[in-house]
Amino acid sequence: MSSRIKILPDHIANQIAAGEVIQRPCSVVKELVENAIDAGSSKIQVIIKDAGKTLIQVIDNGEGMSATDAVTCFERHATSKLTSADDLFSLVTKGFRGEALASIASIAQVVLKTKQLSQETGIEIHVEGSKITTNTDCVSPVGTSFEVKNLFFNIPARRNFLKSDAMEFRHIEEEFERIALAHPECAFTLHHNNQEVYNLQTGNLRKRIVDVLGKSANDKLVPIEEKTDIVSIHGYVLKPEFARKTRGEQFFFVNNRFFKDNYFNHAVNKSFDGLIQPKYFPGYFVFFEVNPAKLDVNIHPTKTEIKFEEDKFIYSILLSSIRQALGKYNVSPTLDFERETAFDVPMAWRNQPAVEPVIKVNPDFNPFQNTTTSNANKTVSSGLSPAIKAQGFGQTNPSSTDWQNFYKVDEQEEELTQNQLIESSSIDTVKEFLVKDRLILTPSKSGFMLIDRKRAQERITYEELMAQFVNSPIHSQQLLFPFDIELSKNEKIVWESNRNLLQRFGFHFEIQSNQLMLNGVPSCVQDESIHLCIDSINETIGFKEVDKGEIAHFVVLSIAKSVSLIALKNKIEPSYLIERLFQCQDHQYSPSGKRILNTLTLEELKSKL
């Protein structure tokens, strides 16, 4: 009997493993920079060409490798960081699986140059598709340099799967920032296509955060600090007024390793309760020190989740330490028990000059004067039901004639209107009703129709804009004063890489460092809704990796949302809105997929009685 089972050759096994470890260029950056940290480097240079598709090079000044190790390091499960399974519980290094280099070498052309302090010469090794092609002595400073060229050269499908250079480089930057933030004791540089993107000198954590985020960050940081037997926490949160609509600057590190955690994130949000608006996200850089034995380190190489044995305890420590910090730095008025709360002024008002209160007095007021309104008041009272009277409505002195007219309803007349609503066959005579400014209730042939005004307006604006856009660029209005808004790095990429499209929509802008300066906006966007519109664009296309084709949809959707909000304030006649809604191609659903209208049949209505 022949056997069908075969052991896979190493290079294929490595390629398969590589699929898990190396998903895109940023994974290579992460692995190489982490190795450099593990090698005890104090200076790490990262050089990227074409978002890592052509070259990723990491040069460090760490301990280097011996001639033998320089060869062995490319083998699968080759690691110097773990000798027994027990070591898993006392790990202080980033790596331990011994998979990264074997994986990288199977899907790229790699050049390694390395030298240890004790050696006269360095070693140079070339590897391609897992095979060592060159192994010679070379001149090299102490430390290690890895060049990874033409990533996925032998897996075209993976190469095609890569996103635009802007997007891939953003991923690289993100990995780089995570490691750089965790290691302020190490100097880093990052170059992309011969341009310096980062040059980070050594220093403390605050300096590193400011160097990564930009100078303005310095005033935004509130330090946090807490030490217990189970966990030590230190780091910074951003003051509440710098909370953003998109998750941006949110970093957790445990023993200097970046991780993501919804549970702890909840604790941070909770500590900001009442200080930031709903749907805004606080920024934070939180470092946990935990005994490695109390962590599940056997995590997937590319996953950023980590399991903590004592997560509940850590949750409450985190919550209280942030609350305490916010209280101490006067940003949380109710939490600081040592200070007079009466002196607390919300942050946003702090630097404003005090405004004298204005007292409004009617100089003509004469309490003894008998006005004609008292007569009218009688009419009002007599027209009200006892229940309404009991609540005190209509018993004050309505001064304007509108009020009088409003209440002057003949009981007979009221009954008649109600009868007409349900039973009269000449139903067209009844108008639309507006409920709480949001819903329109209008009779239809079979009963009633309920329409969501906001969603209807969004649909109308969306289709109008789309129709315009398809035919020609949307008309732009020049702004008298440019509108400035700070962008996160991801947002900046979105604006830069979709410049042409956004211009067709009427957005004319410049970007300087992380400031977006708008000179022109679509003419339908009014001044008061510009901010809303930009926020909405950032939120919808922020970093979702939406397809190019979808971007137009999201941009129009954002414009439609902001335009609709203003349109709704200008009380449009419900009948006009309904008429326009029914001219739309789709009047059932809003552009974001929510139901616009529904009907209630007469039977359904009657069953309520």
Q: Which residues of the chain form contacts with ligand ADP (CB under 6 A)? A: 31, 35-36, 39, 60, 62-65, 73, 78-81, 95-101, 144
14, 35, 61, 255: which one binds Mg ion (CB under 5 A): 35
Least Å from the CB of residue 509 to ligand ADP: 42
In 411-512, the DSSP E strands lie at 433-435, 439-443, 447-452, 476-486, 508-512
199 DSSP β-pair partners: 189
β 43-49/187-192 pair status: parallel
Q: Scan for tokens 């079979």, then name that residue.
A: 446
Question: Please, what is the end-to-end C-alpha distance for the chain in angstroms?
Answer: 80
d(CA 68, CA 81): 16
For Mg ion, the closer of residues 94 and 113 by Cβ is: 94
**Which partner from the list ligand ADP, Mg ion, none does 97 bind, CB cut-off 5 to 8 Å by kind?**
ligand ADP
Q: Which is nearer to ligand ADP, 62 or 240 (CB)?
A: 62
Q: Which of 26, 28, 56, 100 binds Mg ion (CB under 5 A)?
A: 100
Q: Report if residue 144 touches Mg ion, rule: CB under 5 A.
A: no
Q: How far is the CB of 584 from ligand ADP (least distance, A)?
A: 57
Residue 78: contacted member of ligand ADP, Mg ion, none (CB under 5 to 8 Å, by partner type): ligand ADP
Nearer to ligand ADP, 126 or 247 (CB): 126
Q: From Mg ion, ligand ADP, none, which one binds at residue 144 (CB under 5 to 8 Å depending on kind)?
A: ligand ADP
The window from 95-103, 182-190, 209-217, 324-332 that contacts Mg ion (CB under 5 A) reads: 95-103
Buried b (16+ CB within 10 A) or exposed e, 447-465: ebbbbbbbbbbbbbbbbbb
**Separation CA 202–CA 190 (nearest Å):** 14
Region near Mg ion per CB under 5 A, out of 15-23, 87-95, 294-302, 456-464: 87-95
Neighbours of 589 (CB within 10 A): 13
How many residues sit close enough to Mg ion to count as binding (CB under 5 A)? 3
| 104 lies in the site for Mg ion, by CB under 5 A | no
Q: Is 44 in the site for Mg ion (CB under 5 A)?
A: no
Name the residue type at position 160.
N
The residue among 224, 175, 228 whose CA lies nearest residue 197 is 175
Pairing of strands 515-522, 508-512: antiparallel
Residue nearest to ligand ADP (CB): 95
In one-letter notation, the amino acid at residue 231 is V
CA distance 257 to 254: 5
Q: Which is nearer to ligand ADP, 68 or 374 (CB)?
A: 68
Residue with Cβ nearer ligand ADP (80 or 519):
80
Q: Is the CB of 76 or the CB of 508 nearer to ligand ADP?
A: 76
- Considering the complex, what minimum distance in angstroms separates the CB of residue 60 from ligand ADP? 5
Give the DSSP letter of residue 595.
B
Residues present in the chain in total: 609
- The closest alpha carbon to 62, from 139, 115, 110, belongs to 115
Q: Kindly tell me which of 41 and 461 has the beta carbon lying closer to Mg ion.
A: 41
* Locus of tokens 């009020």: 403
Smallest gap, in angstroms, from Cβ of residue 23 to ligand ADP?
16
Q: Which is nearer to ligand ADP, 97 or 455 (CB)?
A: 97
Partner whose binding site includes residue 65, from ligand ADP, Mg ion, none (CB under 5 to 8 Å by kind): ligand ADP
Closest CA to 293 of 245, 321, 255, 263: 255
The partner in contact with residue 232, picked from Mg ion, ligand ADP, none with C-beta cut-offs of 5 to 8 angstroms by kind, is: none
Question: 10 Å Cβ neighbour count for 83?
Answer: 8
95 is a site residue for Mg ion (CB under 5 A): yes
Q: Least separation, in Å, of the C-beta of 93 and ligand ADP?
A: 7
Distance between CA atoms of residues 141 and 604, nearest Å: 83
DSSP states of 268-321 = HHHHTTTTS-TT-B--EEEEEEE-GGGEE----TT----EETTHHHHHHHHHHH
How far, rounded to the nearest angstrom, does the alpha carbon of residue 382 sit from its chain's CA centroid? 57
Q: Cα–Cα distances in Å, from 199 out to 46, 251, 400?
A: 10, 21, 69
Q: What minimum distance in Å lies between the beta carbon of 145 and ligand ADP?
A: 8
Q: Which of Mg ion, ligand ADP, none does residue 151 bind to, with CB < 5 to 8 Å depending on kind?
A: none
| Cβ proximity to Mg ion, 34 vs 177, nearer residue | 34
For 589, the 3-state DSSP assignment is strand
Kindly state the smallest distance separating residue 31's Cβ from Mg ion, in Å. Answer: 5
Q: Say which entry of Mg ion, ligand ADP, none residue 556 contacts (CB below 5 to 8 A, set by partner kind).
A: none
> What is residue 190's three-state secondary structure?
strand
- Quote the DSSP letter at residue 219: G
Cβ atoms of 267 and 318 closer than 8 Å:
yes
Any bridge partners for residue 195, and if so which?
Answer: 192
Residue 98 binding partner per list ligand ADP, Mg ion, none, with a CB distance cut-off of 5 to 8 Å that depends on partner kind? ligand ADP
As separate numbers, helices (DSSP H) first and strands (DSSP E) second, the chain gives 20, 22
Asked if residue 28 binds Mg ion (CB under 5 A), the reply is no
Of the two residues 95 and 143, which places its CB atom closer to Mg ion in the complex?
Answer: 95
Stretch that binds Mg ion, among 34-42, 217-225, 267-275, 388-396 (CB under 5 A): 34-42
CB atoms within 10 A of CB 34: 18
Task: Pick between residue 76 and residue 328 the one whose CB is nearest to ligand ADP.
Answer: 76
Contact status, residue 239 vs residue 246, Cβ threshold 8 Å: no
**Residue 268 contact among ligand ADP, Mg ion, none, beta carbon within 5 to 8 Å by kind:** none
Closer Cβ to Mg ion, 17 or 100, answer by number? 100
Query: Which residue number places its CB atom closest to Mg ion?
Result: 95
In the complex, the smallest distance separating the C-beta of residue 144 from Mg ion, rounded to whole angstroms, is 12
C-beta closer to ligand ADP: residue 73 or 180:
73
Contact residues for Mg ion (CB under 5 A)? Answer: 35, 95, 100
